[in-house]
Chains A and B, each alone.
Chain A
């Protein structure tokens, strides 16, 4: 039996309708149901297409940026939107997360005589991990959803066509400022969220377990290296870029046909951003701290 025969044996099932023409196993050989297999193939297919679309859009936007054709007014407006709207969400998520950690950990640490480690633990949790991821989730909730839905609405209203008709690229006018501002603002939001979080953690630790603030800060500073803050900002940068690029790419490739398409683009954006941010977080953490 040569390779061709094996492939034929694996994929041929003339009785099975396969409308998309995807490679399919002989169902009697595999316990997976046909629906699960086709769902897996469809998701892989979509993911591959989305990756290609993201790559093409980032190249196009990079081209505009390289040529110095950034639309400054739109960029400043987008930075302002994130500084006002996304900051609140990032603060709420970071502060609440830090308070929950303090609430769970501080009494137990004090009971076991590890009062001085509460600050260290908070540093490990917030600086290395939770501040970037929580801020990214806040940015996805506020910024990515807004961009995906706004783009589809702009297309629905023919504003995208109107811009093209006046020799102005909508990608340059809207998408480049959006992606650039989110990429630059997310690290800043992460830093602010992290600072607010560790302060809130200190307050809760003192209130519920009587942890001394000086011990808390001492532990925190001992644990926090300059490099950790740098990696935290890098994570913020990467997550911000991903959140904006995915929103813009999905918006750009959603067929604009009324309110339904706005909802579809927004949902797809949230799902894609959560999956990509979580996956990237693991990969980055593994690369930075895993070795």
Chain B
């Protein structure tokens, strides 16, 4: 992960597994983040275990994406502590974020073609191996045969799936998804959700997904955290989101206008 230098009171360290050998892969403690006078995250803590998908939900502008960017290291927290248990981290962006001067093949294979800042490549593959690997990832998202196209030749949904293929190229152990299914048709959305589940089950990846989409919450998430006013106001399973009497959960799950969630 492209982790920026943290502020003096924020550290990022390898996670030390507990005595059982199975510890959370993602742990964030007491995160605080403000833009100017506006506090976006106010003492937020969470943990995500290996093989677990946590959904962060909340009304628009409540700081879900900021929380994801802070935990992934793309933004620096003002204070708090973040611990990631594996260096193999990936990010699926809200706007696809494909490099528009590169083909689909070059985008998907980017992490294996381009040396990092330290000059290293994760692994050196032969050309046929690389093509096979890219074809495999594209097939997983239902886009086989698009290797030579440029992002400008793809629809919004296709771009999103290519960005998903790029993100899973290195078989990451930690994945951050920022609205991975927003703007996709129901079939493409299901494809992406299936990919998320496959990665969880085959690699044991720990994931945080920021989403509004009910299908994504209920099909993929093991746990749901509801963020509002800078704090996690409710936490539970997707099933509990529908049944719990908590006013935040009730308002969100029923899309009610009345309640504590002010837009």
Contact = CB atoms under 8 A, between A and B. Distances in A.
Interface of A: 69, 77, 157-159, 161-169, 172-173
Contacts of B163: 162
B117 A172 contact: yes
B111 A166 contact: yes
B2 interface: yes
A77 B102 CA distance: 12
Interface in B50-78: 69, 72, 74
Given A167-B1, A167-B2, A162 B117 contact: no
Nearest to A169: B117
Nearest to B166: A162
Q: How would you classify the secondary structure of chain A's contact residues: helix, strand, loop or mixed?
A: helix
A173 B93 CA distance: 19
A165 B72 contact: yes
Interface string B119-134: 1000000000000000
Q: How would you classify the secondary structure of chain B's contact residues: helix, strand, loop or mixed?
A: loop
Most buried by A among B89, B99, B118, B163: B99
B116 interface: yes
A69 B117 contact: yes
Contacts, number: 56
Given A164-B74, A167-B117, A158 B93 contact: yes
Contact of A162 (B89, B97, B116, B119): B97
Contact of A166 (B98, B101, B114): B114
A264 B98 CA distance: 24
Contact of B95 (A157, A168, A173): A157
A162 B178 CA distance: 12
Interface string B84-124: 00000111011111111100000000110010111100000
Nearest to A67: B119
A168 B117 CA distance: 5
A255 to B, nearest CB: 11
Given A162-B91, A165-B72, A157 B100 contact: yes
A159 B100 contact: yes
B252 to A, nearest CB: 26
A69 B116 CA distance: 10
B102 to A, nearest CB: 10
Contacts of B111: 166
Contact of A161 (B97, B100, B119): B97
A161 B114 contact: no
A173 B89 CA distance: 20
B14 to A, nearest CB: 16
A162 B99 contact: yes
Contacts of A167: 1-2, 116-118
B95 A166 contact: no
Nearest to A73: B114
B116 A166 contact: yes
Given A157-B96, A158-B93, A161-B74, 6 more contacts: A158-B97, A159-B99, A165-B1, A166-B110, A167-B116, A169-B117
A158 B99 CA distance: 9
A159 B97 contact: yes
Contacts of A162: 91, 93, 97-99, 163
A172 B116 CA distance: 10
Contacts of B69: 161
B91 A165 contact: yes
A158 B65 CA distance: 13
B137 to A, nearest CB: 15
A158 B4 CA distance: 16
13 contacts: A77-B101, A158-B95, A159-B97, A161-B97, A162-B91, A162-B163, A163-B2, A165-B72, A165-B90, A165-B91, A167-B117, A168-B114, A172-B117
A69 B98 CA distance: 23
A172 B114 CA distance: 12
A172 B115 CA distance: 12
Nearest to A171: B117
Nearest to B69: A161
A157 B159 CA distance: 12
Nearest to A77: B101
A166 B2 contact: yes
Most buried by B among A159, A167, A172: A167
B4 to A, nearest CB: 8
